[in-house]
Structure 1
Amino acid sequence: MAGDASTETAVDRGTRTARFGWFDGSLVALAVASVCVTLASALVQVSFGTYSMSIPEAWRALFDPAILLDPRRLLYFFFGEWVMRLLTGYGGEVDALLDGLAVGTTVVWTLRLPRVLVGALVGASLAVSGAIFQAVTRNELASPYILGVSAGAGLGALVALVLFTALEAVLPLVAAGGGAFAFLLVYVIAWKNGTNPVRLVLAGVIVSTVFHSLQTGLFFLASDIGVVQQALSWTTGSLTGVGWEQFRTALPWVVVALALALVGARQLNVLLLGERTAAALGMSVERTRFALAAVAVLAASAAVAVAGIVSFVGLIVPHVVRTIVGSDYKRLVVGCVFAGPALLTAADVGARLFFEVAFNSPVQIPVGIVTGLVGGPYFLYLMRTRDQLGEL
């Protein structure tokens, strides 16, 4: 009996090791470092502004028990008024929920924290989207930006903002439709008895150029200067002015996309083996490729719908994470979920505070400019250090 019990214990231990062995030290270290960077960026973000606070004051406001211990306030911020009333039965005025809060807490939770959270969602979704595209195309240069998906999603969102304002309620779906159309167009242009990494990248450049021109043309159809300014922020990628509404808009789509990416990690690993090997293992290659591409399009489009076209995040983060944790897509996707928010929230700190610190000016630059300034040299670094750049 004792031998049977010890054997069963050993079997259970081996099963747990096989099940969670992918969550190794390198992934834990990456996750911890990324969380630290994200938290540091968040504290810096919530400390600076018209109402200035010290880091300890910002910390106390961020973790104010008046918010954290009140389910009504938490539900209102994260999920909106309707969900809050449904789950708590609250029948009072919404403004009453904010009465009695310290000024710093109100500023942090209503104005500054949602910008950080939206940045985290955008960073995670773009990073995972880029990782998926790199596996689907077997091309390490692939990303939502380079393959034209970001441009297509941005064009769809601008069409909704400028021409069909009634579609703003379903902006992520419109953006996803534009991103999907762009990716299909890239694939059609690149197809010639199959595709290869070079043709896919060139086709992505062509589609991005055309769609960016169409975006610029839409500006001339807008009669409201406010719409034009909003559209300009879309084309450069900006977190300025985002709030809880944008967070709640993106959250469900990003969660679904990230969950599907984790579920499809095994299929992504098989695709990296090549079409012949994947088919020999029983995979329907084209069906799987397009299903996973749809997940990547959804993730990228959700990001574009709330932050515009933020460049290079989907290219940089998967490369960095792959260098640290390896090419297994279960580890890679989880690593991107942590590293993506770290990169984008840190970049947004620079976008928001550079002019204020350097020139004492309140001007904020779009975060897409910062990621572009980082991503461009990194792209050049890849070109200079890789003997064969392109196919994975």
Structure 2
Amino acid sequence: MWLEGGSMHKRKTQGAVMIIAGFSLAMVALTVVCLSFGGTNIPFRETLLSLVGQNEEASDLIIIQFRLPRILAAILIGAALAVAGAVLQGVIRNPLASPDLLGVTGGASVAVVAFMTLLTGYSIHWIPAIAVAGAFLTALINYVLAWKKGISPFRLVLIGIGISTAMGALTMFLLISGPAYLAAQVLNWMTGSIYGTNWSYIEVLWPWVAIFIPLSFLYAKELNVQSLGESTAVGLGSRLQLSRMILLFYSVALAGAAVGVAGMISFIGLLAPHMARRLVGHSYKLIIPLSAVLGAMILLLADLAGRMLFLPLDIPAGVFTAGIGAPFFMYLLFKRNAAR
């Protein structure tokens, strides 16, 4: 029996790894599609030649200087938000948790808008750090307000929604009271847009993603232990509170850095982990990498839709993620209430 159980677990793990590999290949194919289509459609052959440095056509400039930074930003931001959401859901043990619903992205947004409106001549290299600081402060406020002889996951979400609303109001106040010439730029950023992303933004974003996604993956075993419940986790030797604080910091860092570059892109941190959990089960060693891939694909598709569906307009990707994510959140909320 033990051998049969071990063999079945091995087959399930191999199947999950194949799913992750399949979606990773699909993401690569989607990346080529996104590079090829836009205001000017470019043949796939020229796109592939540009990626290997062999395209001598005029399209090489469009692909390398304009589209590739935008596509890479979508991949990095989508992956960061998705992993941030997966980690939050694991720490809080609440499937409704995501950085935007807990007010984390709202706090990052306030910090960045304050930085942009109050300081002129700023360097974009500061923006991710400022966003992470605002996100961390908001997460701390949420945690303190939700504490009542312990943390209720449902109370944490409700307070997070309230804080998110308050952060939105504060952001608008800062916007109105700031310089008028910055209003259009800040409003476009607030809707969740990667339009105009260049290589400088990739330079400041990729270190955050390259550091904190692997660190989150290294704590996947700890997330699996915590999912068994507090008493069981402590019984198995987990340093529960320390691990939670570390994981929350990783999640906040990823969400804050993503918001600092792209603004308020909502619900990826809710959608991607749910999809991953349905596809590969409840092990965070599988959920975290698949969430990263799915989050990247969701944002790539949202950005492609924004570029192609309403030509010549370029609709922010955040509009599409919110349009999909908000009904999905309501579905989860009603499903949770019906199960009680």
Q: Same fold (TM over 0.5)?
A: yes
Q: Determine if the alignment matches structure 1 residue 256 to structure 2 residue 211.
A: yes
Which residue of 362, 377, 385 maps to 2:327? Answer: 377
What is the match of residue 29 of structure 2?
39
Would the aligned equivalents of 1:130 and 1:318 in 2 still touch at CA under 8 Å?
yes
CA-based RMSD: 2.3
Higher alpha-carbon Rg: 1
Q: Distance in 2 between matches of 1:330 and 1:26?
A: 10
Which residue of 185, 195, 220 maps to 2:151? Answer: 195
Would the aligned equivalents of 1:44 and 1:55 in 2 still touch at CA under 8 Å?
no
What is the match of residue 317 of structure 2?
367
Post-superposition shift, 1:389?
6.7
Would the aligned equivalents of 2:30 and 2:297 in 1 still touch at CA under 8 Å?
no
Which residue of 35, 45, 53 maps to 1:65? Answer: 53
Would the aligned equivalents of 1:44 and 1:349 in 2 still touch at CA under 8 Å?
yes
- Matched residue SS, 2:134: helix
AA aligned to 2:231 is R
Q: Distance in 1 between matches of 2:102 and 2:327?
A: 19
AA aligned to 1:277 is T
AA aligned to 2:295 is G
What is the match of residue 223 of structure 1?
179
Would the aligned equivalents of 1:153 and 1:304 in 2 still touch at CA under 8 Å?
yes
Q: Distance in 1 between matches of 2:117 and 2:323?
A: 29
Q: Determine if the alignment matches structure 1 residue 182 to structure 2 residue 182.
A: no
What is the match of residue 4 of structure 2?
none
Would the aligned equivalents of 1:35 and 1:342 in 2 still touch at CA under 8 Å?
no
AA aligned to 1:241 is G
Q: Distance in 1 between matches of 2:16 and 2:187?
A: 40
Which residue of 37, 62, 80 maps to 1:125? Answer: 80
Give the structure, 1 or 2, with the largest relative contact order (CA under 8 Å, sep 6 or more). Answer: 2
Mapping 1:76-115, distance limit 5 Å? 101-115=56-70
Post-superposition shift, 1:349?
0.7
Would the aligned equivalents of 1:321 and 1:339 in 2 still touch at CA under 8 Å?
yes
- Is the alpha carbon distance of 1:156 and 1:35 closer, same or farther for their aligned partners in structure 2, counting shifts above 3 Å? farther
Q: Distance in 2 between matches of 1:368 and 1:223?
A: 24
What is the match of residue 70 of structure 1?
none
Would the aligned equivalents of 2:32 and 2:48 in 1 still touch at CA under 8 Å?
no
AA aligned to 1:139 is N
Q: Distance in 2 between matches of 1:363 and 1:45?
A: 18
Post-superposition shift, 1:55?
3.1
**Structure 1 residues 8-51: Cα deviation after superposition (integer angstroms, max 9, x where no partner):** xxxxxxxxx9xx988522332243235314532542443322xx
Structure 1 segments, 4+ long, off by >6 Å, are: none
Mapping 1:318-357, distance limit 5 Å? 318-356=273-311
Would the aligned equivalents of 1:64 and 1:105 in 2 still touch at CA under 8 Å?
no
**Structure 1 residues 105-130: Cα deviation after superposition (integer angstroms, max 9, x where no partner):** 11100001111110000000000000
AA aligned to 2:64 is W
Which residue of 210, 215, 226 maps to 2:166? Answer: 210
Q: Distance in 2 between matches of 1:317 and 1:389?
A: 22
Q: Determine if the alignment matches structure 1 residue 48 to structure 2 residue 51.
A: no
**Structure 1 residues 227-266: Cα deviation after superposition (integer angstroms, max 9, x where no partner):** 2122112321111111111111100001111011011111
Structure 1, gaps ≥5 residues long? 1-16, 68-100, 357-361
Would the aligned equivalents of 2:272 and 2:294 in 1 still touch at CA under 8 Å?
yes
AA aligned to 1:212 is G
What is the match of residue 87 of structure 1?
none
- Is the alpha carbon distance of 1:208 and 1:384 closer, same or farther for their aligned partners in structure 2, counting shifts above 3 Å? closer
What is the match of residue 25 of structure 1?
15
Identity %: 34
Q: Distance in 2 between matches of 1:245 and 1:35?
A: 27
Would the aligned equivalents of 1:160 and 1:168 in 2 still touch at CA under 8 Å?
no
Structure 2, gaps ≥5 residues long? 1-6
Would the aligned equivalents of 1:238 and 1:368 in 2 still touch at CA under 8 Å?
yes
Would the aligned equivalents of 2:81 and 2:258 in 1 still touch at CA under 8 Å?
yes
Which residue of 218, 240, 246 maps to 1:285? Answer: 240
Q: Determine if the alignment matches structure 1 residue 266 to structure 2 residue 216.
A: no
